[in-house]
Amino acid sequence: MVGRKILNGDFNLTRISFPIKCMMPQTTLMSLNNTFNTMPVYIRRAASTADPIERLKLVMASNFSQSWYSHEFGKPLNPILGETYECFTQDGTKCFFEQTSHHPPRSHFLLEAKDGLYKLNGYLEIEIYAGMQTTVVNCLGFK
């Protein structure tokens, strides 16, 4: 059955147990925090400008900048349902993350600027399908 799913490209890697040797020393929530490293820089500037076109450009740049930090070669440790992670970014933005679903894996987040200039919240759900020569990653959710 696994072979058939790989040939069809329907082999969902988020539902597979991996040996601990293949894992990173971080949970999914910690890895999610890494993707938000550059976001406060762009979102702060977007919140400070009155020009809607410039604001849209900065928000899109913020989203594209996340992809640089989301390339990981190891698989993060699966978070436990209800697990939370809190941290601060370089500009003092408070970040809160919580694992709210196990199957499918879904993580909610909230970022609050130190000075109250912006709040960002949403959730992320990732599906990863492997085929013989392809991998498809679907990022579902909203911000």
Residue-wise pLDDT for 30-47, tens only, equals: 888 877 888 888 999 999
Domain enclosing residue 48, as ranges: 2-142
- Encode 72-96: b = buried (16+ Cβ within 10 Å), e = exposed: eeebbbbbeeebebeeebeeebebe
Total domain count for the chain? 1
Crossing angle of helices 28-35 and 52-69, rounded to 10°: 140
pTM (2 decimals)?
0.77
Higher local confidence (pLDDT), 70 or 136: 136
